[in-house]
Amino acid sequence: MNDPLFNKPSELIIEGELQGNDKLRIKMLEDVSLMTQETKYQILNAMLKMHKYFEDYCGDLEISLNTINEIAANTQPLYIILDDTSTMETRAIRYHYACNWETDHGVEVMVLNGNQVIFVGNCGYTYGVLLASIDSALSLQDEELNFL
């Protein structure tokens, strides 16, 4: 499946409970395909903010990027994950990216209901917080390492 942010191939992962729920799975795939330009811009800006944070925090990085176009050129999609804690009312999709500007962890983006971006940060950061429930994912919006 093509990643909506970069229009490049990405591995689709459908988590456990969604395997047998055709209606929800189809709605979530529709959410992926209908990501708006505004949402894409918001994600890319958050990625740039994340890069600049690590540039300031870590000091000497191997690469310094200054625009969202540079971020896009240095980021590759890995996975689109349809999160099995989703319901028809609250559909969570996680996007994972490899990038040469954050080589330790990569970037994870979490989007609810197609276009509500609630997290942009290191891959795996949401795992312990989120998987208990989507409600806990909403609290990620206030986390220090959420670069929205």
Within 10 angstroms of residue 120's Cβ, the number of other Cβ atoms is 25
Residues 127-144 have pLDDT tens digits of 555 544 555 555 555 566
- For residues 97 and 76, the answer to whether their CB atoms sit within 8 Å is yes
Q: What is the pLDDT of residue 55?
A: 86
Non-local (6+) Cβ contacts of 101 within 8 A are 51, 54, 61, 63, 65, 71, 74, 75
pLDDT, tens digit (0-9, with 9 covering 90-100), for 19-29: 778 899 999 99
Residue-level pLDDT at 102: 78
**What pLDDT is recorded for position 134?**
55
- Cβ count near 92 (within 10 Å): 27
Residues in the chain with pLDDT values less than 50: 131-132
